[in-house]
Each structure stands twice: as structure tokens, then as C-alpha cells.
Amino acid sequence: MATLASAITTGPGPARDVVPRVPIPAKGVDYRNKIVLAPMVRSGELPSRLLALKYGADLVWGPETISRALIGTERRVNPRNGTIEFTRMPSNGGRPNKPSKESVIYRIDPVREKGRLIFQLGTASPELAVAAARVVADDVSGIDVNAGCPKPFSTSGGMGAALLRTPDLLVSILETLVKEVGEPYQIGISVKIRIFSDPEETEALVSRLVKTGITALTVHCRTTPMRPREAAIRDQLRMITSICHNAGVACVMNGDVKSRDHGLELMNEYGVDGAMIATSAETNSSCFRTKEDGGIAPWREVVYEYLRFCIESENRLGNTKYLLNMLIPGKDKEFKDTKLSKTYLDICRGLKFDDLLPDAMALDQILGLDDKWESVPPVTHSLAQSEPDTPTQSEHKSKAVQNAMQSETARAAGGGGVRTKTPLPAVHGGGPIRRSSAPRPATVTQVDDEQPAVEAPIPAPQTEAPSQVTA
Ligand SMILES: Cc1cc2nc3c(=O)[nH]c(=O)nc-3n(C[C@H](O)[C@H](O)[C@H](O)COP(=O)(O)O)c2cc1C
């Protein structure tokens, strides 16, 4: 396939250098000069992405999602917070004696992620890749193909790093995505790879990939067998960058980039166009903030902001706890308390984030976690002890929040006893409601905190392995 690179000229005077550049589609985004959040299964859900953006990430990748997990999902706007949710019912019909709950496969904030979200696909089939990418193409700024995951459950399905060994297939996936999704939806298609230990093999692969019409290539500077703790190898970076640049494709580096400042230094040193951060951001997203702007923030500040985003986004409790595990230092008492928490109320109380308690309780109700409130000993937190709200404050609280506050206050005051669960109306004021997209009529949804992030019945004949999500 002919390269889509168009020649553009830079620099003053008649002897200007001619630099080809694959055009960035109208609704796409240029990865150049960006420090970005890496795709991370579990660690890259919506609240983590919002946290990274808050601290200065220029772009955020969502966690890899297997194409067939996305195909057949229902897209709807959550009427409480305006997020776009792609949902499906569990394939096994749920557990015996328990009504089935929908799983949210992917969640997007159409306002705060606008122009900054890249969706990463796990796939081993051009047809499935296209079918899946079309589901989200209107809501994201780019589709990235994962060709670097080394986990057996990914590679055994021919996805992830296995694609490095099947370059014809990888090229075909990218070309098909460019033609059938990138062009009609006007978004960019990109790929994330690892290096081979033999630079010539890397060179041969990259030389083919940059001719597929992709706008960008991210290189994780480790080979497939390398463990995450092994230091990234950067000696192939200049060669890869040069191939990308000759074809007009942006080159983003990944591997042991510690912070925005560090990323900028490396970009300068190796001539790459952007830098991607994974594990450093997982531990403390304020790594996206320059030293000049305050640098690394104390963990309590980061955890507070993270929890706020979790509550607003109605994030699954299990996922929230997973990331809190990374954000809270293991030696702190709060680490153990959070691990044992069964509700958002528990977490916010344990961390003494009293101003988050009303919304935490409201979310527990939405998620059906409020029946676990009895399992924690009554505490007297500032909310229970505080003066009643002023009328103005009360007006701003939803009925659900008020109910939750009343029952919590009564319980803390010794009212104890068995709570009866108050069913919530479909729409309440548990979080800020943004309506950037017209909400469709809401079906009341319970998000299951025990379900894996992806629950994937197979809607159509497919060739991929029955794995869920990959790391
Ligand atoms: C928890 C976790 C989940 C990951 N999930 C993905 C993924 O979904 N897709 C992907 O391409 N890479 C994934 N990776 C790899 C990272 O994107 C990145 O390439 C790797 O961690 C190296 O970057 P670092 O040195 O900054 O950590 C994951 C890494 C971690 C730690």
C-alpha cells in the first residue's frame, strides 16, 4: 500500500527541508510533543485517566480491550454523570439466585477526555478489529493496536506481542483499520510494539508498519521476554525514530520514563516525538507535573483526587481498591484499612476524607454496596457530628444523598440495627451531571464490583482466543 505521507516543508528560505508527514485526520490528534499515559489494563480505567489529565498528561490511553469484548456492547450515556458507557449483560446470565447485572466494558468522559483519549485494541483479526473500533470510533481520538503484550493469554490468541511474529497480519490489521475506520471516522490509527533483540529485525518490522497509513508508532523499549523490572534498552531508539520520521509517522518512546521532565529530556536526547509513562504514573500520577509546577504531590493529595474521580465516575469498587493499593504506601496504616474496606464509605472514612462521605454513600447505594455498611463498626465522623446543613446546602443534595446521610447519622448515633435498602431512582445527584451528549432514556444499571472489567460473550464467529483483557 502506498504511504499516505504528504510532503510538508519546514524552515525558512528556498533550501527548506522537505519532511513528509502522514496527515492527522480532522478528529484525530497528533502525538508529537506529548507526554502521555500508557495503556494499562486495570490501572487505566476512567478515574486513573482523569487523574493523569489533572496532573498534566497530554493524552491518555485506555486499557487494552479485546475486540470481541467490545463488539455487541450497548452504548449509552449515564444520566447521573454524563459518562459514555459501553455495557453488556454477562454471558452466563449471572449467578444463581442473583439477578444479572450489566458489566461496563468501557467508560469515557466525553468532556474531560475530549480530544485526548486513545482507545487500545487487542486483536488478531482485521475484521474483528474494524467491527470493534467502529463501536467507539465516534467517541475517541485514535485507535491504537496492541502489538506488545507478552502475556500468554494474549499471545496464545495471536494478539499482543504475537503480532510481532506475524507481521503480515499486523500490517493487514493496521491497513484495514486505516481504510475502514481511520478515514471514514477521521481519527488516527497507531500501533504499540516492543523491540526485537536483533535491531535488524526491529528495523524490518518498523519499516513495514510505517507504510500502513498509521499516524504514530509507540515503541516499548524492551524485548518480549524482558521483565518489567529490567532496564529499558534505548540503543535502537534513534534507528526507529529515523524510520518513522522518514515516513512522516510520529514516534513515541516508552519504558522507564519516570516523569514529564524526564520524558522531555529523553525526547531531546533521542529525537523522539513523545514519551509514554506507565508504572510511574500508576504509583503517583503527579509525575505528569513538571518540577516547576510543583512536581510529585504527596500521596494523600493524589489519593483524594483519585477517589473523587472514582466516585464521580461510579468506578467499580474492586478496581478502585486495586489502584489505591498502588497509590498508598504499603507501610502506612491506611494501606491495610483500604485493603479491608468493603464500601466507598469505608474507604473515605478510613482515609478521613469526610467531605467525600455523602457522595461515597450515594455511590454505595448505586452499586448495591450499602448492604455491607453494617459490617463496619459505627464511627463518629465529622459528618455525623456536624451541624445540620444549611437550607442552601440541602437543596443541592439529592434525595439519595440525604437519605444516605440520615441513615448514616442515625447509625453512627447508635441507631444501628438492620438497614433496609432504599431503592434509588434512576437519576440522582450523586455527582456532577454533564450533558455534553444527549442522554438516551436510561435503563437503571448496577455496576458489579465483583465482575472482571470485561465480560465477553461471543456475539459473532471469531478467531481470537477466549481471553478477556490483557496486560
Ligand atoms: C498494570 C499494567 C497494565 C498494562 N496493560 C497494558 C495494556 O493494556 N496495553 C499495553 O500495550 N501495555 C500494557 N502495559 C505495558 C505498559 O503500557 C508499558 O508498556 C510498560 O509498563 C513499560 O512502561 P513503564 O516502564 O513506564 O512501566 C501494562 C503495564 C502495567 C504495569
Grid cell digits, residue 457: 460473550
Whether 144 is in the pocket of ligand 1, judged by its Cβ within 6 Å, is no
Same domain, 145 and 291: yes
Could you tell me the pTM of the whole model? 0.81
Of 296, 314, 333, which residue constitutes the final position of a domain? 296
pLDDT value at position 302? 98
Distance CA 461, CA 175 (A): 22
> Using only C-alpha atoms, what is the Rg of the chain?
23
Domain carrying residue 53: 34-296
How many other C-beta atoms are found inside a 10 Å radius of the C-beta of residue 388? Answer: 9
The length of the chain, given as a count of residues = 471
Residue 429 within a domain: no
Among 299, 207, 297, smallest CA distance to 249 is for: 207
> Which of helix, strand or coil describes residue 379?
coil
Contacts of 253 (CB under 8 A, 6+ apart): 218, 219, 221, 234, 237, 266, 267, 270, 272, 274, 275, 276
Same domain, 308 and 342: yes
Query: Which of ligand 1's atoms lies nearest the C-alpha of 257?
Result: 26
pLDDT value at position 99? 65
CATH number for position 270 = 3.20.20.70
Same domain, 181 and 251: yes
One pLDDT digit (tens) per residue for the chain, 471 residues: 444 455 444 444 444 566 789 999 999 999 999 999 999 999 999 999 999 999 999 999 999 999 999 999 999 999 999 999 999 987 665 566 666 778 999 999 999 999 999 999 999 999 999 999 999 999 999 999 999 999 887 888 999 999 999 999 999 999 999 999 999 999 999 999 999 999 999 999 999 999 999 999 999 999 999 999 999 999 999 999 999 999 999 999 999 999 999 999 999 999 999 999 999 999 999 999 999 999 999 999 999 999 999 999 999 999 999 999 999 998 888 888 899 999 999 999 999 999 999 999 999 999 999 999 965 544 443 333 333 333 333 333 344 334 434 444 444 443 333 333 333 333 333 333 332 332 232 222 322 222 223 322 222 222 333 333 333
Same domain, 335 and 285: no
Same domain, 89 and 178: yes
| CB of 19 closer than 8 Å to CB of 10 | yes
pLDDT value at position 324? 96
- Amino acid symbol at 344: Y
Ligand 1 pocket mutation, candidates 35, 41, 59, 170, criterion most atoms within 8 A of CB: 41
pLDDT value at position 218? 98
Residue 14 within a domain: no
Residue 144 within a domain: yes
Of 273, 296, 319, which residue constitutes the final position of a domain? 296
Residue 428 within a domain: no
Provide the domain count of the chain.
2
Whether 279 is in the pocket of ligand 1, judged by its Cβ within 6 Å, is yes
Query: Which of ligand 1's atoms lies nearest the C-alpha of 280?
Result: 26
pLDDT value at position 47? 98
Same domain, 332 and 311: yes
Contacts of 35 (CB under 8 A, 6+ apart): 56, 57, 58, 257, 260, 263, 264, 274, 275, 276, 277, 288
